[in-house]
DNA sequence: TATTGTTATACTCTATAACTATA
DNA sequence: TATAGTTATAGAGTATAACAATA
């Protein structure tokens, strides 16, 4: 248990992370916004998945995911195949072009980070990654990830038709409560 | 020096911090957005300052700061006094109402963090704060802060007419390059 | 009746550009 | 001429609500 002052300071530092994220956003290629990049990264690291699953991973409403997915599909970076198990669903997967874009995105962001954090040790970077991962887990993503082993760049698993997550548990998010008229 | 894979993972985790920030944003009172809250927090912790100084601390363009400041001034939470040393400048300072709002904001965000991070130790929270602070410093805010001692809630210094920071150093940001016509 | 996904709309945050008033 | 700050405008990200198709 930490003190009030410490939590306030943490809140400030979290809000300041925005500056770092904006910096990272400035090196993105035309046509590929931060939102698109996030989707590509998740598809790359977690493999094919449904819209709803992706929404949970991003922790945003599905309407947002739908927009991003449409943008990526328009550019040929992902495909949205019908889910044979549920005709309402769509399975997203990277195309070769999408994978190439992801490689380029990774190269750029890793490059910038390597430049900025040149005086950080490997252990320090690892520590920050660990704490951020745990922070996210503490914020309700019991369902997110962090449970799976670090995904190898090997051929991805054959797209689990079932979301890797209980999908209950959550208070709201990922779904606009349908209003009863 | 860390490896490419580690930097990619860090980029992913940084992007995921957005979910935490959105969660924190949901508990804000009406009329006080995250942007407003950030300004109040900085004025509270660093004391009175000029628009340009605040822009550097926020790492956003001054036009953004101007908007936020106008919003806060409209609600009586800050005042923008003329700077006797430079008639172009304005010194921002919290009003009693602004201070009260800041106290409420701190209470709420610290409360949510305390709830979510209940199983974190004091040391872990401190470690995350330290790494985030350093991360920010590594991202070009040689000028930001982190140099000053933790500001006591005591009577604030008489508004340094000179920004606490070199103000050069920076590639761009904080100012839209005036186009030569 | 409930769920998956899409679309329309609105709001926040930010950057760019042009403008005023000082320096 | 350069700087501090303001305002208008545009773009990205997200949430809410309503709708279609399917379960």
Measured from the CB, is A66 under 7 Å from any atom of strand C?
yes
Q: Are B62 and B174 in contact (CB under 8 A)?
A: yes
The pLDDT of residue A170 = 35
The pLDDT of residue B140 = 73
Percent of residues, chain B, with pLDDT higher than 70: 77
What mean pLDDT, rounded, does chain B reach?
A: 83
Tell me the average pLDDT across A31-43: 97
Q: Which of the four CATH numbers 3.40.30.10, 1.10.10.10, 3.40.50.1110, 1.20.950.20 does domain B32-109 have?
A: 1.10.10.10
Q: How confident is the model at residue A174 (pLDDT cuts 50, 70, 90)?
A: low
Residue B5 pLDDT > 70, yes or no?
yes
CA-to-CA distance for B66 and B142, rounded, in angstroms?
23
Per the structure, the residues numbered 91 to 130 in protein chain A that have their CB within 7 angstroms of any atom of strand C are none
Extents of the domains making up chain B: 32-109
Q: Which nucleotides of C are covered by protein (CB under 7 A)?
A: 3-8, 12-19, 21-23
Tokens found for residue A150: 């670090």
* Tens-place pLDDT, residues B24-61: 999 999 899 999 999 999 999 999 999 999 999 999 99
In eight-state DSSP terms, residue A29 is: P
Estimate in Å the CA A61 to C1' C4 gap, whole number: 13
Distances (CA, A) of B181 to A48, A110, B171, B176, B178: 51, 38, 22, 15, 9
The pLDDT of residue B2 = 72
CA-to-CA distance for B100 and B96, rounded, in angstroms?
6
* Tens-place pLDDT, residues B79-126: 999 999 999 999 999 999 999 999 999 999 999 999 999 999 999 999
């Amino acid at each position: 248990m930490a003190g009030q002052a410490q939590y306030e300071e943490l809140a400030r530092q979290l809000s300041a992370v925005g500056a770092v994220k904006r910096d990272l956003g400035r090196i993105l290629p035309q046509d590929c916004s931060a939102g698109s990049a996030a989707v590509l990264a998740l598809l790359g690291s977690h493999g094919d998945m449904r819209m709803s699953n992706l929404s949970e991973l991003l922790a945003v409403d599905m309407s947002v995911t739908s927009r991003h997915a449409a943008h990526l599909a328009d550019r040929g970076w992902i495909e949205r195949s019908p889910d044979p198990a549920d005709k309402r669903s769509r399975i997203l997967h990277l195309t070769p072009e999408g994978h190439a874009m992801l490689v380029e995105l990774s190269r750029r962001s890793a490059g910038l980070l390597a430049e900025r954090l040149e005086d950080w040790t490997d252990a320090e970077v690892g520590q920050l990654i660990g704490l951020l991962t745990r922070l996210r887990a503490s914020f309700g993503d019991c369902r997110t990830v962090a449970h799976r082993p670090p995904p190898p760049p090997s051929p991805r698993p054959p797209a689990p038709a079932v979301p890797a997550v209980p999908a209950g548990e959550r208070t709201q998010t990922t779904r606009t409560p349908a209003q009863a008229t």
